[in-house]
Amino acid sequence: MKPIIETSLLSVGYRNGTQTREIISELNVSVNRGELIGIIGQNGIGKSTLLRTLTQLQPPLKGNVLIDGKDIAHFPKNEFARKVSFVSTEIIRLNHCTVRELVAFGRYPYTNWFGKLTQEDELAVSEAIGMVGMNNLAHRHINEISDGERQRAMIARSLAQDTDIIVLDEPTAFLDMPNKFEVVHLLCELTRKKQKTILFSSHDLNIAMKEADRLWLIMPDTFLDGAPEDLVLQHSISKIFEQTRLKFDSRKGEFSIRRKPVGYCQLTGKGTPLIWTKKALERIGFDTESETGDYAFDIDVIEISHSLFWDLKLPNGSGLRFASIYELTTFLKPTITSK
């Protein structure tokens, strides 16, 4: 399969007079048609700079970017606009513009000097709005819809532009959790159903790992590329957080704060109640997997007549029963503060 995007010894950064600041150096990567690529890294690491370079919004310091085997520097402006569309993280505020009018802006590479939409253009706009599930909002003004809906409208504008490649800079910024997942899942569906090639930067590693075909991890002096699962197995995900208080559990695929255990407890039970009890105990500082087997107390999660209970056995042999995780953790918290 011939790559749709290729870079050759690509270096990106900024020039200021005689000063040059190189952020990413001599990058050689390729992207296949229909792939969803998540670009991950800390603030200031170069995610946006890389995307802006790939979309001709700023020149490379060195090297080349090829689209379908052709250097992007050799594309006429209008031809490139039919190949690549870009959605920035900036929130669009157009008080007198409807959703449909915003999406119609995506047809500019195809219109005449007067910008008049043909019947074909109108059909493309309608299809784009339908693909992002906004038919019922098409005639609403942009300032009357939510941030999540506005982001969908911006994606629809790119779809109306009908490019093979869509590049998005932080598409989930400013969105609540449900909208974050919905937007990234929409991007995933577009690669599957429309064979769009989509690159997006994000701070939401958890969401990107669940949807992206590949991740590009940008770290100081290191660029890693691979399927999310491959990067986990190579311990690359963990390396991002080595110098932070955050840790990544490669077995569970979860992130948590590094804590020194305040104590150990033997936990027994089964199913979902056991899983969430374990999470709650870890949240307040207890380790349920002691390597030495030296446990301070036992907790048994049991079900009686379709009701859950938590039986706590203390070191002195006495026992207590709790009817909720909240009651259990509230009782244990004084144990933590006394240490």
* DSSP-derived secondary structure for 152-220: HHHHHHHHHHT-SEEEESSTTTT--HHHHHHHHHHHHHHHHHS--EEEEEES-HHHHHHH-SEEEEEET
- In this predicted structure, what is the pLDDT of residue 265? 86
Contact (Cβ atoms closer than 8 angstroms) between residue 256 and residue 79: no
Q: Are 140 and 204 contained in the same domain?
A: no
Residue 249's identity, in one-letter code, is D
- Match 């500019």 to its residue by tokens: 108
* Longest CA span, the chain: 86
pTM: 0.82
Residue 261's identity, in one-letter code, is P
- In this predicted structure, what is the pLDDT of residue 91? 66
- In this predicted structure, what is the pLDDT of residue 200? 96
φ/ψ of 86, rounded to 5, equals -130, 130
Q: Are 65 and 168 contained in the same domain?
A: yes
- In this predicted structure, what is the pLDDT of residue 204? 85
Burial code of 283-303, b = ≥16 C-beta within 10 A, e = fewer?
ebbbbbeeeeeebebebbbee
- In this predicted structure, what is the pLDDT of residue 99? 93
Q: Are 175 and 324 contained in the same domain?
A: no
Of 218, 247, 199, give the one whose Cα is nearest residue 65: 199
Domain with 317 in it = 263-337
Structure tokens at 77: 């402006």
Beta bridge partners of 255: 248
Contact (Cβ atoms closer than 8 angstroms) between residue 296 and residue 274: no
Contact (Cβ atoms closer than 8 angstroms) between residue 104 and residue 117: yes
Q: Are 111 and 22 contained in the same domain?
A: no
Q: Are 168 and 226 contained in the same domain?
A: yes
- Match 């950064």 to its residue by tokens: 13
Q: What is the CATH number of the domain that holds 219?
A: 3.40.50.300
3-class secondary structure, 308: strand
- Match 């296949």 to its residue by tokens: 32
On whether residue 249 sits in a domain, the answer given is no
On whether residue 14 sits in a domain, the answer given is yes
- In this predicted structure, what is the pLDDT of residue 291? 59
- Match 């590949």 to its residue by tokens: 214
Of 129, 137, 90, 134, give the one whose Cα is nearest residue 107: 129
Q: Are 67 and 199 contained in the same domain?
A: yes
On whether residue 251 sits in a domain, the answer given is no
On whether residue 254 sits in a domain, the answer given is no
Q: Are 171 and 239 contained in the same domain?
A: yes
- Match 């240490």 to its residue by tokens: 339
- Distance, in Å, from the CA atom of 338 to the CA atom of 293, rounded to the nearest integer, reads 22
Q: Are 101 and 54 contained in the same domain?
A: no
- Distance, in Å, from the CA atom of 228 to the CA atom of 210, rounded to the nearest integer, reads 8
Burial code of 206-244, b = ≥16 C-beta within 10 A, e = fewer?
ebbbebbbbbbbbbeeebbbeebeebbeeebbeebeeee
Q: What is the pLDDT along the chain (339 residues), one digit of tens a residue?
A: 799 999 999 999 988 878 888 999 999 999 999 999 999 988 888 999 999 999 999 999 999 999 999 999 999 998 999 999 999 877 667 778 999 999 999 998 887 655 688 899 999 999 999 988 899 999 999 988 888 888 889 899 999 999 999 999 998 887 888 888 888 999 999 999 999 999 999 988 888 999 999 999 998 888 999 999 999 888 888 777 776 777 777 777 777 777 777 788 889 999 999 999 999 998 888 888 765 556 678 999 999 999 999 999 987 888 999 999 999 999 988 765 554
On whether residue 21 sits in a domain, the answer given is yes
- Distance, in Å, from the CA atom of 87 to the CA atom of 184, rounded to the nearest integer, reads 13
- In this predicted structure, what is the pLDDT of residue 180? 87
On whether residue 140 sits in a domain, the answer given is yes
Q: What angle do CA 332, 336, 339 make, to 5 degrees?
A: 140
On whether residue 255 sits in a domain, the answer given is no
